[in-house]
């Protein structure tokens, strides 16, 4: 099968969150099974400097943008066997300090940037010599691709490839006013209606993908059910309920080439379920690196996260206010809302021997935190899938999660299965509920036999991409009208 993936970010080239990890891992897994895979993504600042083997194709994307013509070169990289990355090289749109915006504000021309990106994807699918069977788009930034391809097919009698949309986070929809967005699409007027791209008087990129894709997936089974409800549907639940027959929840896999404890350049000490004592050495190294008292008998909690409302970072702060009276340590790595950043830095100043707050993102440090801490806090308001809880499991770090979305699908609590338990869950989104879960963790830490058993369960839990890839291939075949 020939599969073209379209994503606004792709590890290791660009990343703000789990989207980059997921698409990278899916592409590699599909390619390893013999499928021909292409990935289209913007050429952001710094990629050429870090990947000198990129080469420019003798090919250009030329598309209309509301009365003007925009042109982009295509840089390409043969990333591995059966996998090629195509970079949309438009410096005016993508040579920026960040991917989507700066200082907690999005770039004002994001509508143009991602309409152009979607048009570039549709252009490649139509005119490039390599013709895909499936075009698989990810999130709102590529959400217009299916409707653009359908319009092309109407205009040119083109047998367009089938399209699949994956919703990574329904809360981010790419919704802009009609005046700001619709002229950029160059779509005929008949597409702007409540059954088309229109939503609340404007253009909604994610809704467009939902309406015009041949198949829809999201990143966990529970989240697929949740987004069809008013509580989690972000106002798109009526539309999603109308397309439930083509909506599939597929739990993300983990790229164990990247996230492992045995062949990892970021860790000081490698370890396995049979050598868990070496995990304690990573803990001591982490405490030393962060300037915290070096003592492996102190239970260590941590999180690596975006500092946004969704992630429950506010109730972590509240719970820590209560729990830091106990003998424990906490480390944060993340960035986002400036007010929340200041709150975590203030917490560190008040508890310098118990708290370390690192603002920003550091891939190597994120691996060392996962390996060094004892418990990973992930009390999300909602979580489509989540990857950090699955990274934590592989590192023998017990995740403390709320029962929502992919967190509920991937973590087993003691109350659910004593023999397979590998984490701690709670249900109510509140500071007291999280504090109670932290108290359970402190008791678990003082129960070495059970704690070690849960760590072994965690490290042997399997979220490899083989199962996940098989589920995506089934969706592709259904979208193509094939069955096996």
Q: Does 473 lie in the same domain as 452?
A: no
Residue numbers of the chain with a pLDDT score lower than 50: 483-484
CATH of the domain at 366: 3.40.50.2000
Task: Give domain status of residue 272, yes or no.
Answer: no
pLDDT, residue 157, reads 84
In a domain, 151, yes or no: yes
Residues 92 and 237 in one domain: yes
Two tokens, residue 26: 């899916």
DSSP codes of every residue in 365-407: HHHHHHHH-SEEEE--S--SS-SHHHHHHHTT-EEEEESSHHH
pLDDT of 104 reads 82
Q: What are the structure tokens assigned to 459, written together?
A: 């490290």
Position 264 in a domain: no
User: Which residue, 339, 378, 268, is CA-closest to 18?
Assistant: 378
Give the integer Cα–Cα distance in Å for 224 and 303: 26
pLDDT tens per residue, range 261-309? 999 999 999 999 999 999 999 999 999 999 999 999 999 999 999 999 9
Q: 443 lies in a domain?
A: yes
Using CA atoms, how far residue 18 sits from 81, 366, 388, 447, in Å, is 24, 13, 9, 33
**CA pair distance 108, 277, nearest whole angstrom:** 51
Tokens describing residue 67: 């009365």
Give yes or no for a contact between 211 and 205, defined as CB atoms under 8 angstroms apart. Answer: no
Instruction: Give the count of alpha carbons within 13 A of 313, CB side only.
Output: 25
Within this chain, do residues 159 and 20 fall inside the same structural domain, yes or no? yes
Sequence-distant (≥ 6) Cβ neighbours of residue 178 within 8 angstroms: 192, 198, 201, 202, 203
Domain range enclosing 37:
2-253+466-479
Claim to verify: residue 249 and residue 324 sit in the same structural domain = no
Is 299 within 8 Å of 374 (Cβ atoms)?
A: yes
74 plus 92 within the same structural domain? yes
Euclidean distance between the first and final Cα of the chain, in Å?
14
**Residue 378 and residue 290 share a domain:** yes
227: its two tokens = 């987004």
The answer to whether residue 268 is domain-embedded is no
Q: Do residues 245 and 295 both lie within one domain?
A: no
Handedness of CA 28, 173, 241, 243 (dihedral sign): negative
Same domain, 197 and 311: no
DSSP string, 14-59: --SSHHHHHHHHHHHHHHHTT-EEEEEEE--TTHHHH-TT-EEEEE
| Same structural domain, 290 and 392 | yes
Instruction: Look at the chain and count its residues.
Output: 484
Q: Are 287 and 238 part of one and the same domain?
A: no
How much is the pLDDT for 484?
42
Give the pairing of strands 198-199 and 202-204. antiparallel
Note whether 241 and 235 are within 8 A (CB): no
List Cα–Cα distances, 279 to 59, 263, 377, in angstroms: 50, 14, 18
Domain count for the chain: 2
In this structure, the answer to whether residues 94 and 139 fall within a common structural domain is: yes
């Amino acid at each position: 099968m020939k599969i073209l993936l379209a994503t606004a970010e792709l590890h290791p080239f660009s990343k703000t969150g789990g989207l980059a990890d997921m698409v990278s891992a899916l592409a590699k897994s599909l390619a390893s099974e013999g499928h021909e895979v292409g990935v289209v993504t913007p050429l952001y600042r710094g990629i050429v400097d870090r990947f000198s083997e990129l080469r420019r194709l003798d090919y250009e994307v030329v598309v209309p943008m509301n009365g003007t013509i925009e042109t982009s070169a295509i840089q390409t990289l043969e990333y591995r066997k059966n996998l090629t990355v195509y970079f949309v090289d438009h410096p005016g749109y993508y040579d920026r300090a960040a991917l989507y915006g700066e200082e907690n504000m999005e770039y004002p021309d994001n509508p143009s940037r991602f309409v152009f990106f979607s048009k570039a994807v549709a252009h490649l699918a139509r005119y490039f010599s390599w013709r895909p069977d499936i075009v698989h788009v990810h999130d709102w930034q590529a959400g217009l691709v299916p409707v653009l391809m359908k319009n092309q097919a109407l205009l040119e009698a083109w047998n367009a490839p089938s399209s699949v949309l994956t919703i990574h986070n329904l809360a981010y929809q790419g919704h802009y006013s009609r005046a700001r967005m619709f002229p950029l699409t160059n779509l005929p007027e008949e597409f702007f209606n409540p059954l088309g791209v229109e939503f609340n008087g404007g253009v909604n990129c994610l809704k467009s993908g939902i309406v015009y894709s041949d198949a829809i997936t999201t990143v966990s089974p529970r989240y697929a059910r949740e987004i069809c409800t008013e509580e989690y549907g972000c106002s798109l639940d009526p539309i999603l309920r109308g397309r439930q027959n083509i909506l599939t929840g597929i739990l993300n896999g983990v790229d164990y080439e990247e996230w492992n404890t045995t062949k990892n350049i970021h860790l000081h000490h490698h370890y396995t379920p049979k050598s868990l004592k070496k995990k304690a050495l990573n803990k001591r190294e982490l405490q030393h690196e962060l300037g915290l008292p070096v003592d492996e008998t102190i239970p260590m909690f941590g999180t690596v996260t975006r500092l946004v409302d969704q992630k429950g970072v506010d109730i972590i702060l509240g719970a820590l206010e209560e729990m830091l009276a106990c003998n424990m340590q906490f480390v944060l790595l993340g960035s986002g809302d400036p007010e929340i950043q200041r709150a975590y830095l203030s917490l560190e100043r008040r508890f310098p021997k118990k708290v370390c707050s690192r603002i920003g993102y550091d891939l190597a440090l994120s691996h060392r935190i996962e390996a060094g801490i004892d418990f990973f806090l992930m009390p999300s308001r909602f979580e489509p899938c989540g990857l950090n809880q699955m990274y934590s499991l592989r590192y023998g770090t017990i995740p403390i999660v709320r029962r929502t979305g992919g967190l509920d699908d991937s973590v087993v609590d003691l109350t659910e299965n004593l023999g397979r338990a590998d984490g701690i869950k709670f249900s109510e989104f509140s500071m007291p509920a999280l504090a109670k879960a932290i108290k359970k963790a402190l008791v678990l830490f003082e129960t070495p036999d059970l704690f070690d058993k849960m760590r072994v369960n965690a490290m042997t839990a399997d979220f490899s991409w083989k199962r996940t890839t098989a589920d995506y291939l089934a969706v592709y075949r259904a979208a193509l009208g094939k069955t096996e």
